[in-house]
Chains A and B, each alone.
Chain A
Amino acid sequence: MDKVSKKNLEYLINRKDNQYEVVIGLEVHAQILSESKLFSTSATKFGAEPNTQVSLVDAAFPGMLPVINEFCVKQAIKTGIGLNAKINKRSVFDRKNYFYADLPQGYQISQFKDPIVGEGKVILDMPNGQKEIGIERLHLEQDAGKSIHDLDPQNTFVDLNRSGVALMEIVSKPDLRSPDEVSEYIKKLRSIMRYLGTCDGNMQEGSLRADVNVSVRSKGSKEFGTRCEIKNVNSIKFMQMAIEYEANRQVDLIEEGKSIDQETRLFDTKKNETRSMRSKEDAHDYRYFPDPDLLPLEVSEDFINDLKNDIPELPDDKKKRFIDEFKLSPYEATILVSDIDTAKYFEEVVAKMGKNKDMKLAVNWITGELFAVLNNKNLEISQSPVSAKNLAILVNLIKNGTISGKIAKTVFELMLDGDKDPQKIVEEKGLKQQSDPKAIEALIDKIITDNREKAIEYKQGKEKLFGFFVGQAMKASGGKANPQLINEILKKKLQ
């Protein structure tokens, strides 16, 4: 098993005589998977017509009051459990006050001093071992609406569909050290939340986005450097690019003998650079205070325990079980568990293969042929053109010698069109493997007779001619002869 190791392949920025380490902490904003908003009953569907999912509460009409959505609380606690974190039985909603056109209340309801989830951790599988990343906290908050600046030269339009949607802000400790770790961290968070059904992790739709805190320091230094926060980055690729740019910018400043200003920056995806948004001096004073419209949120031990009992097997446990139960390699297991649908698919294949199953073969077919097809067609595994059941049948057909691996590829191609039963394809197309030794022997005898000279050359030591005979035999059988039998019989006959 992989061991937790502190040292990974180091990501360092090199300058003349100096090496710099990059220190990264993330504030991930994950939209809670919920039919309705955090404090109102409006719907949360993505892509709806502007301002069609807005209640009087979301638009902050006079006298309107927030009422906590219990389901969202459960989702946050489940996520906390998935992050191995402390669940706080008492948490408090605060108002974060600032003016903006898409913030109807003039404040965002968030949790400042007393979040619902405290410290936790996630384990990353890095190429040279595992690494633990600390979670500082997870808190509940409302999303703001959306300002649309490009529909009119004069006016800004506001869409409040997103206003009041429930977010979990997951704050990591500054434990990340490279763009690759950040990538793995986001993937792992997303994987855990998808297993839990608490966030769909869809970054294109903005369900998952992050503020990235970056600082640099001389390799070996224990002190943290001055950090800059890059706001609202919405893809893993952009996070990596932003970190790379920002870390190098900071290193350059240090190398030039300049100091780094603590500030909030924006990542320009077109120019691939970060730009200053506001300095520490210009930072908002959010005037946080407990929201008097909401009582402190109190949850009982039983409430938490009921949710604990409701937690499905999570990626780390599933991986361990795949290794123990199915004898997969850690690498294979990691690939299969990273996405809950892949894991589900794999487990269904395993179940459908029955008693005499070839686990290795199943894994290879899923991660090889199937992944390639999904990739090509840009499909999720949940939309796979080949069902787990039929893939299991195909793997079994190979395993029991009905078809060869090569023929299986042909069969697989045919299966893609309408999820056809491979058994039927093999029967209809007559693709069944020839495994009658007598028939193959007769076939080989004829080939040796027809190619007497080559047979002599082989016997005299020209061993690479063996392949020639195999090819001839395969050709003569129309590709259906059992390759193993061909090998065995040929060897015997050519001795």
Chain B
Amino acid sequence: MSDITKQSLTELVENIKNKKLSSTDVTKGFIERSEKSGELNAYITDDFSSALDKAKKFDQKPNFNLKLPGIPMAVKDLFCTKNVKTTAGSKILNNFVPTYESTVTKNIWNEGAILLGKLNCDEFAMGSSNETSFFGNVQNPIDKDLVPGGSSGGSASAVAGKLTPITIGTDTGGSIRQPASFTGTVGLKPTYGSCSRYGIVAFASSLDQAGPMAQNVKDCALLQEVISSYDPKDSTSIDFKRNEYSKELSINIKGKKIGIPKEYRVDGMPKEIENLWQKGIQYVKDCGAETIDISLPHTSYALPTYYIVAPAEASSNLARYDGVKYGFRAKGENLIEMYEKTRSEGFGAEVQRRIMIGTYVLSSGYYDAYYLKAQKVRKLIKNDFDEAYKKVDAILTPSTPSSAFKIGEKTNDPVSMYLNDIFTVPVNLAGLPAISIPAGHDSKGYPLGLQIIGKAFDEQNILNIAFAMEEKISFKNQINDWWIK
């Protein structure tokens, strides 16, 4: 059964339901491969022995009516998992074991899936390369010393490297879509309010959203229908009718109007990205859709707006990590000194930078000029999309302005790092759903992604467009398992 890990989620579910494979077979397969993949550094914490127990238990009394029957799955270490250490990639939570389960992961286990372990990520999901994690860099399975993107870098690496058949990440400014793009995988950031934030370590509350990361669109749709639920424990969760996305998936996108925003043609964007975009436009046309040139005039303000709003919320959200109640505590002569040492030693440089920025933009005298203005611009950005959606059903853009870069290449240049999120950030600011699908390779053979942005709650539509394009593109990830000795 050496090819178990090569199978998609849909195939695995099928094979388990048809009793061609047991949950134990599948779980063992992914554990073995994960164990051989230490060099990717995708895991922060594994839960392999417990996963095997659960798989055996499942096989003794299988329930094939579940959507994820006995499927092993590793998840981003930002989701609180009961009795399994949850670090958010930070030293400050290095010893934190939750007594509770996030709603999103609970939904997954309720459908029969089994936790394999917790995947590496940028510290508190702040980063675009997984280099800010206290637990070290994650390697991109595409090539050695290549970043997998971030912040859901461990998740992307694990799916691309087939350490897990599927996974979940979180996306605050592109943290699912950018690493999906860098690793040749599919990543969906759902509409804000679609997936509960309960039990997810918060970065920026008004932007954070959990979503699926998969090898293909169908798997992605299946996981989305499992994780999306209305949750009264999250006041920003929205009670809307949720589709059975995988069942309703269709390649028929005839007559759909796809917007092509001119503002996404940014200065210095590599020619290959532009070419990819043009190819994407051709693909959707080939599928019978129509493309329309549109304008999203406030796009260039999205990044600065994001880098005010997100750090502002983060500076407050991270105040609870103070050494008093749980997590890392440094010794101090008094309360203030304990706070200072705990937070200086417990948080990494990028997190500290964002706390500083956030504290600054909220401080009296600067609030109006930064935070309040950013909120106004955020509204304008949302209005841009609302206007566009009067004319089109979805919007097609590149996912990132470049392919994956080398580890260390941008660590000393935060602004260049932040520019990575230029195409993904507006979506979070507007609370919209968007999916990144692999669409080609650059000259180095690294994958490149295209992003389809939808109307709020219109996940089905962008999944369908992605599904149709996927068929035309027939992308193949070029991974030679270089890290397995």
- Chain A residues with CB under 8 Å of chain B are 56, 59-68, 95, 97, 99, 101, 104-107, 156, 158, 285, 287-289, 292-295
Contact = CB atoms under 8 A, between A and B. Distances in A.
A292 B206 contact: yes
Interface residues of B, number: 43
B319 A99 contact: yes
B362 A106 contact: no
Contacts of B199: 63-64
B198 A287 contact: no
A67 B233 contact: yes
Contact of A289 (B202, B339, B367): B367
Given A62-B93, A62-B201, A107-B316, 15 more contacts: A62-B96, A62-B320, A63-B80, A63-B198, A65-B233, A65-B234, A66-B235, A67-B232, A97-B362, A99-B319, A101-B322, A104-B324, A106-B319, A289-B312, A289-B371
B96 A287 contact: no
B220 interface: no
A287 B364 contact: yes
Given A62-B88, A63-B197, A67-B232, A101 B363 contact: no
Q: Main SS of the interface on chain B? A: loop
A101 B335 contact: yes
Contacts of B318: 106
Given A99-B339, A285-B364, A65 B96 contact: no
Contact of A285 (B205, B312, B363): B363
B115 interface: no
Contacts of B235: 65-68, 293-295
B429 interface: no
B470 to A, nearest CB: 33
B326 interface: yes
Contacts of A287: 315-316, 359, 362-364, 367
Given A63-B102, A67-B235, A101 B367 contact: no
Contacts of A288: 362, 367
B98 A95 contact: no
Instruction: Among A61, A156, A285, find the residue whose CB has the most chain B CB atoms closer than 10 A.
Output: A61
Contacts of A62: 80, 86, 88, 93, 96, 98, 201-202, 320
A59 B324 CA distance: 10
B201 A63 contact: yes
Instruction: Among B199, B232, B316, B363, find the residue whose CB has the most chain A CB atoms closer than 10 A.
Output: B316
A343 to B, nearest CB: 40
A174 to B, nearest CB: 23
Contacts of B201: 62-63
B204 interface: yes
Contacts of A97: 315-316, 319, 362
Nearest to B327: A62
Contacts of A107: 316, 319
B236 interface: yes
A66 B202 CA distance: 13
B116 to A, nearest CB: 20
A295 B236 contact: yes
Given A67-B233, A99-B339, A60 B325 contact: yes
Contact of A65 (B79, B197, B313): B197
Given A67-B232, A289-B371, A104 B197 contact: no
B78 to A, nearest CB: 8
